[in-house]
C-alpha cells in the first residue's frame, strides 16, 4: 500500500496536530454531480452501480476530481447487509428502498443468515480494494455501515418510514425479538466493517440515521448499546496505523456524553447541535465531525463562508475537528457551491492550527 500523502483527516480524528481542518461531505459521491447521474443511467439502477466495483470506484473518485477533499468515502449503501440476508431489496424509480420479505417474527429473525463479507458482500470488499489502488495514497478511504437499529428499522418496516410504528410495536410488545435481530445485525456489522478494514478502509463510520426517533431509555438500550458492542469488536490498528471509528446519530445531540463513552474516536454531529457546546460537553475525549446545515449550500458564496467561519470559531483552536455537513449533501445543490465550502474550510481554519 502506498504511503498516505494527505493524512489530515486521520490525524484530526485522533486529535493530533494538523495544518488545517480537514473536510469531506456526507453523500459527496452522488446525484448533485452530473457525471454521477450519467454513470448511474449507464449502470441501469442504483444497486447495479453499487455491485460493480469499477463503477463504485469511479463514483467514489468523482468528487475528488472536483474538490480538494481530505477523504474519500466508499460508494455503497447502508442496506447491503439486509440485502445479503435475502430480504429482497429493490429501489423503485423515484422511491426509497423496499424489502419484499420484511422481518416480523422471532422465527424470521432466527432464519436470517449472517452474511460472509468476502462471499455475499464480496462486491463491497472488491470496491474497497479497487478504490485504495486508484487513490494511490492521495487521501484516506472511509468505510461505513448502517447501525443495527437503523438497519432494523428498514427490515421491520419493509422500507422507509415516517412513523416507525411496526418496529416500535416490536420494541414495546416483543423486545426479545428485536434484541435478537439487533444481536444478529451487530455480529454482521462487525464482520462487515472488519472486512472493509482488511480490504483497505483506513477509517470507518457507523450511520445511525434513525436513532433520533427513540426516547432516551430506548436509544441507550436499542441503539447505543449495540454500537458500543461494534466499537469493541472492530480492528483498531491495521498496516501500522490506528483505524479511527466515528459514530453518527442524526438528532442525537442530547446523548453526546453517552456516545463518547463507547470508545469511539469521533462523534458526527448534525446541524441542530452547537459546535462550541458540543466541544464543551465532550471535552478532549473524542473528536467532532460536522456540522453545517446541508441547505447552506443553496446560499450565496459569502453566506457559506460566514457559516464556515462561525462553526470553525465555535470549535476554536486545536485539532479534533473534521468539518462536514450535518447530513448528506442535497441532490439539487449547484456543483460550484461545494467548491466554495471546501476552499473556505481550508483557508479560514489555518489560524486555528498555528
Q: Which of 45, 77, 293, 343 is catalytic?
A: 77
Q: How far apart are CA 342 and CA 305, in angstroms?
A: 10
Q: Which of 40, 198, 236, 242 is catalytic?
A: 40
Neighbours of 165 (CB within 10 A): 11
Q: How far apart are CA 195 and CA 177, in angstroms?
A: 27
Q: Is 219 one of the catalytic residues?
A: no
Question: Which residues on adjacent β-strands are paired with residue 91?
Answer: 97
Contact between 169 and 116 under an 8 Å Cβ cutoff? The reply is: no
Instruction: Provide the strand spans (E) within 136-187.
Output: 141-146
Q: Are strands 266-268 and 287-292 parallel, antiparallel or unpaired?
A: parallel
Do the annotations mark residue 202 as ligand-binding?
Answer: no
Q: How far apart are CA 268 and CA 333, in angstroms?
A: 22
**Most distant pair of Cα atoms in the chain: their distance:** 59
Do the annotations mark residue 154 as ligand-binding?
Answer: yes
Helix 53-66 to helix 122-135 angle (10° resolution) is 40
Q: How far apart are CA 156 and CA 250, in angstroms?
A: 20
Neighbours of 42 (CB within 10 A): 10
Q: Is 154 one of the catalytic residues?
A: yes
Helix 148-157 to helix 225-233 angle (10° resolution) is 120
Q: Is 40 one of the catalytic residues?
A: yes
Q: Which of 32, 154, 192, 219 is catalytic?
A: 154
Burial class (CB in 10 A: 0-12, 13-18, 19+), 263: middle
In the chain the first and final C-alpha atoms are separated, in Å, by 31
Q: Is 183 one of the catalytic residues?
A: no
Phi, psi of 87 (to 5 degrees): -90, 0
- The three grid cell numbers given for residue 289, joined into one nine-digit string: 465531525
Do the annotations mark residue 27 as ligand-binding?
Answer: yes
**Cell 461545494 belongs to residue:** 338
Q: Are strands 89-91 and 97-99 parallel, antiparallel or unpaired?
A: antiparallel
Do the annotations mark residue 136 as ligand-binding?
Answer: no
Q: Is 337 one of the catalytic residues?
A: no
Residue 348, CA distances (Å) to 44, 89, 255, 277, 311 in order: 41, 44, 30, 21, 11
Question: Which residues on adjacent β-strands are paired with residue 23?
Answer: 323
Please give the positions annotated as active site: 27, 31, 40, 77, 154
Residue ranges of the binding site for substrate: 27-31, 77, 154, 209, 327
* Binding-site annotation, residues: 27-31, 77, 154, 209, 327
Amino acid at each position: 500500500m502506498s504511503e498516505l500523502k494527505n493524512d489530515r483527516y486521520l490525524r484530526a480524528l485522533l486529535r493530533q496536530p494538523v495544518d488545517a481542518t480537514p473536510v469531506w461531505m456526507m453523500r459527496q459521491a452522488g446525484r448533485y454531480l452530473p457525471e454521477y447521474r450519467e454513470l448511474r443511467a449507464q449502470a441501469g439502477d442504483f444497486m447495479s452501480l453499487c455491485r460493480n466495483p469499477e463503477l463504485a470506484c469511479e463514483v467514489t473518485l468523482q468528487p475528488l476530481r472536483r474538490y480538494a477533499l481530505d477523504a474519500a468515502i466508499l460508494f455503497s449503501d447502508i442496506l447491503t447487509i439486509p440485502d445479503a440476508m435475502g430480504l429482497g431489496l429493490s429501489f423503485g424509480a423515484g422511491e426509497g428502498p423496499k424489502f419484499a420479505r420484511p422481518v416480523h417474527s422471532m422465527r424470521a429473525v432466527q432464519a436470517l443468515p449472517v452474511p460472509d463479507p468476502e462471499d455475499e458482500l464480496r462486491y463491497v470488499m472488491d470496491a474497497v480494494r479497487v478504490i485504495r489502488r486508484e487513490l494511490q495514497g492521495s487521501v484516506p478511504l472511509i468505510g461505513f455501515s448502517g447501525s443495527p437499529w437503523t438497519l432494523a428499522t428498514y427490515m421491520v418496516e419493509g422500507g422507509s418510514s415516517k412513523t416507525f410504528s411496526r418496529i416500535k410495536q416490536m420494541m414495546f410488545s416483543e423486545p426479545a425479538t428485536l434484541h435478537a435481530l439487533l444481536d444478529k445485525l451487530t455480529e454482521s456489522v462487525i464482520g462487515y466493517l472488519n472486512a472493509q478494514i482488511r480490504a483497505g478502509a483506513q477509517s470507518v463510520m457507523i450511520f445511525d440515521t434513525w436513532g433520533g426517533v427513540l426516547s432516551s431509555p430506548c436509544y441507550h438500550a436499542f441503539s447505543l448499546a449495540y454500537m458500543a458492542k461494534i466499537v469493541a469488536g472492530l480492528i483498531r490498528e491495521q498496516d501500522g496505523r490506528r483505524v479511527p471509528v466515528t459514530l453518527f446519530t442524526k438528532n442525537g445531540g442530547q446523548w453526546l456524553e453517552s456516545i463518547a463513552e463507547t470508545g469511539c474516536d469521533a462523534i458526527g454531529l448534525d446541524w441542530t447541535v452547537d459546535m462550541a457546546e458540543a466541544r464543551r460537553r465532550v471535552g478532549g475525549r473524542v473528536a467532532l465531525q460536522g456540522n453545517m446545515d446541508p441547505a447552506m449550500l443553496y446560499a450565496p458564496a459569502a453566506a457559506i463562508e460566514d457559516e464556515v467561519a462561525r462553526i470553525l470559531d465555535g470549535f476554536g483552536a486545536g485539532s479534533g475537528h473534521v468539518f462536514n455537513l450535518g447530513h448528506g449533501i442535497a441532490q439539487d445543490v449547484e456543483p460550484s457551491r461545494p467548491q466554495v465550502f471546501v476552499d473556505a474550510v481550508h483557508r479560514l481554519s489555518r489560524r486555528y492550527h498555528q
